[in-house]
Amino acid sequence: MKQTTCAGNMSQVVLILDSVISPSDLQKRLGRFISEFPVVNGSISRDINICPYWRMPGNTEGELNLVSYDCADESGLLPLLAECANRPFKDGTEHLAFHLINVQNQKSCLAMTFDHRLFDARGAESFLRLFQQHVESNSIAGVSSGVSLTAPAHLSGWMKKFLAGRNVNRKIISLSEHSLAALPVSDGKKKGFRFRLIRFSEQETKTIYDNAYRSAGYLMETPYLLSVIMQAVNGLFMSRKSEEGSYLAAVSIDMRSCEDIKQELFFNHVSYLFFQAQSHLVNNRNELVNSVKLQMYDQIKTGLPRDIIEASHLTRIAPLSFFKKIIDGPLKGKIATFIFSHVSKNPLSPELMGAKIEDVFHLPRVPVPPGLGFFSNYFNGRLNLVISYLDGLMSDDEVDVLERTITERMLEG
Amino acid sequence: MTLPDIQKTLIQGIASITSKDEAAISADVPFHELGIDSLGFVEILVFIEKTFKLQLIETGLDKKDFATIHSLASFLHKKL
């Protein structure tokens, strides 16, 4: 259990910059910035009979892990980033690693690999936004005030957490009524993750958002993007002649508003929505979009995402073997067909250390199972979509088809 | 309910969903400029159902009705 789920505990946010920045300058500035936040060098700790907690380090001088690379051409960038995303942290106190890549002496790429216990995706972007402010003002005083460096302990109200756990358990049982399609995960040696990046131009992004509006309605791009991806995944299973009748997408969502993020920067605040579609429904785009919208509405109305957050606190007191029983029981070892998330807002300012930020995207490692995820984000008028998958889960040809199908369907409306 | 009452109730609900001060929310600013995405928008639709007993998720979610708090309040006023 621990071996499989820990694979999802890392992610990487990538900034593409329009010019080269100096590694030594970055090292100096990042070192000064990170030293203001000893929380990043904390560790999970558990004293006798006490729930696990985040122990702050005794020594506030944390070591900065920054490695610089040269990349001869842009085609080599994604494989290099994948290598960085797959490199494990050295121990339980390291939760951040930075990679600065010089691309042909013309551009740079700054990648921050982070432990998902320390940040979620929007928290990581907000942390880099603080770094930008720190660089601009050259002091911690210039960094936004009101950042909370401590998370509530959540060590009270256990009855509420158990009731939330009951609701989540009922939802899991209802989702498990249909046989779930999932790609088989091969066991054996530890495997890394591979990534495909689909970058849409400004014009293509506008077309996609127009399609989303026509098909799903105002501000309904998430249900639209998910529906397109579900159709493409259906194509993958059809080509494998899978007989499973239902697809389940676990969609990670951030329950914080933009204002909340400023105060709750650290730790993970993600929850989930679940979308299920029978394979016969998936071929009809309009029906699928409506079904996704209604499922989203019903789950928010019944408070499922908040129940999941509440219930997740039970992981502090329940042994891992208990969760293994839930997954192996009603879910028969399958958690979802794939994971999806869409980050529609970005807190970053346009420049970092004098270089303009051209693009931003995320390369998360997906928990196994399912080991397959789709992660879209909107930046500077453009949409990016990353396909993240466990090495060996799909053949290169299958990923090619998936990539082509998603691109075509997004644009055709 | 009068139109100003509906607008005031909407602003209160949206302020709670977005964690903003009511005073910082203008009734004439588009929802997407208030930092609202699909999730936030669905939360607003749920708030509308609980407050005004109107389910709107299955309507066309037309931009002209939902573009701003003011236009949404007018839309709700016609429906109520």
Task: Answer yes or no: is pLDDT of A62 > 70.
Answer: no
Task: Answer yes or no: is pLDDT of A152 > 80.
Answer: no
Residue A93: give its domain's CATH number: 3.30.559.10
Best of B14, B20, B38, B66 to disrupt the A interface (most A CBs within 10 Å) is B38
In the predicted model, what is the mean pLDDT of residues A3-22?
Answer: 78
Task: Answer yes or no: is pLDDT of A4 > 50.
Answer: no
Domain count of the fold of chain A? 2
Q: Which residues contact A375 (CB under 8 A, 6 or more apart)?
A: A340, A341, A342, A343, A361, A362, A364, A385, A386, A388
Q: A221 and B61: CB-CB below 8 Å?
A: no
Strand, coil or helix: what is A411? helix
Same domain, A133 and A164: no
Distance CA A329, CA A325 (A): 6
pLDDT of the residue at A151: 57
Same domain, A138 and A241: no
- How long, in residues, is chain B? 80
In the predicted model, what is the mean pLDDT of residues A260-274?
Answer: 84
Q: What percent of chain A has pLDDT over 70?
A: 91
Convert the pLDDT of each residue in A162-177 to its tens digit. 999 999 989 988 988 8
Q: Which two tokens stand for residue A244?
A: 């499973």
> Residue A33 belongs to what domain range?
2-142
Task: Answer yes or no: is pLDDT of A7 > 70.
Answer: no
Residue A170 in domain: yes
Residue A212: give its domain's CATH number: 3.30.559.30
Q: B57 and A216: CB-CB below 8 Å?
A: no
- Shortest distance between the Cα of B60 and any Cα of chain A, in A, equals 6
Convert the pLDDT of each residue in A307-363 to its tens digit. 998 988 887 777 667 767 766 777 777 789 999 999 988 889 999 999 999 999 999
Task: Answer yes or no: is pLDDT of A187 > 90.
Answer: no
Residue A359 in domain: no
Same domain, A175 and A265: yes
Q: A219 and B46: CB-CB below 8 Å?
A: no
In the predicted model, what is the mean pLDDT of residues A17-22?
Answer: 96
Choose among A12, A11, A14, A21: nearest CA to A352.
A21
Chain centroid, CA A209 distance in Å: 22
Residue A42 φ then ψ, to 5°? -75, 180
Q: A220 and B61: CB-CB below 8 Å?
A: yes
Same domain, A246 and A337: yes
Residue A149 in domain: no
Residue A149 φ then ψ, to 5°? -95, 0
Domain count of the fold of chain B? 1
Task: Answer yes or no: is pLDDT of A243 > 70.
Answer: yes
Residue A110 in domain: yes
Strand, coil or helix: what is B2? coil
Q: Which two tokens stand for residue A22?
A: 């100096």
Give chain A's mean pLDDT: 88
Residue A150 in domain: no
Report in angstroms the alpha-carbon separations of A279 from A248, A382, B16. 10, 31, 38
Task: Answer yes or no: is pLDDT of A6 > 50.
Answer: no
pLDDT of the residue at A147: 67
CA angle A267, A117, A161 (to 5 degrees): 70
Q: Which residues of B touch A (CB under 8 A)?
A: 17-20, 31-32, 35-43, 45-46, 49, 57-58, 60-63, 66-67
Residue A263 in domain: yes
Same domain, A132 and A178: no
pLDDT of the residue at A210: 96
Instruction: From A90, A114, A142, give the residue that closes a domain.
Output: A142
Task: Answer yes or no: is pLDDT of A194 > 90.
Answer: yes
> Residue B19 belongs to what domain range?
3-79
Q: Is residue A371 left, alpha or beta, with left meaning phi > 0 and alpha meaning psi from -120 to 50?
A: left
Task: Answer yes or no: is pLDDT of A8 > 60.
Answer: no
Q: What percent of chain B has pLDDT over 70?
A: 100
Task: Answer yes or no: is pLDDT of A227 > 70.
Answer: yes
Tell me, what's the ipTM?
0.92
DSSP calls for A93-124: T--EEEEEEEETTTEEEEEEEEETTTB-HHHH
Report in angstroms the alpha-carbon separations of A119 from A256, A318, A368, A372, B75. 13, 23, 19, 21, 40
Convert the pLDDT of each residue in B45-69 to its tens digit. 999 999 999 998 888 778 888 889 9
Q: Greatest CA separation found in chain B?
A: 31
State the burial class of residue A213 (Cβ atoms within 10 Å of its Cβ: 0-12, 13-18, 19+). middle
pLDDT of the residue at A3: 38
Residue of A404 and A191 predicted with greater confidence = A404
Residue A268 in domain: yes
Convert the pLDDT of each residue in A24-53 to its tens digit. 999 999 999 998 888 888 888 877 766 777
Same domain, A246 and A166: yes
Residue B65: give its domain's CATH number: 1.10.1200.10
Q: A218 and B63: CB-CB below 8 Å?
A: yes
Q: B35 and A222: CB-CB below 8 Å?
A: no
Same domain, A119 and A243: no
A49 contacts A155 by C-beta, under 8 angstroms? no
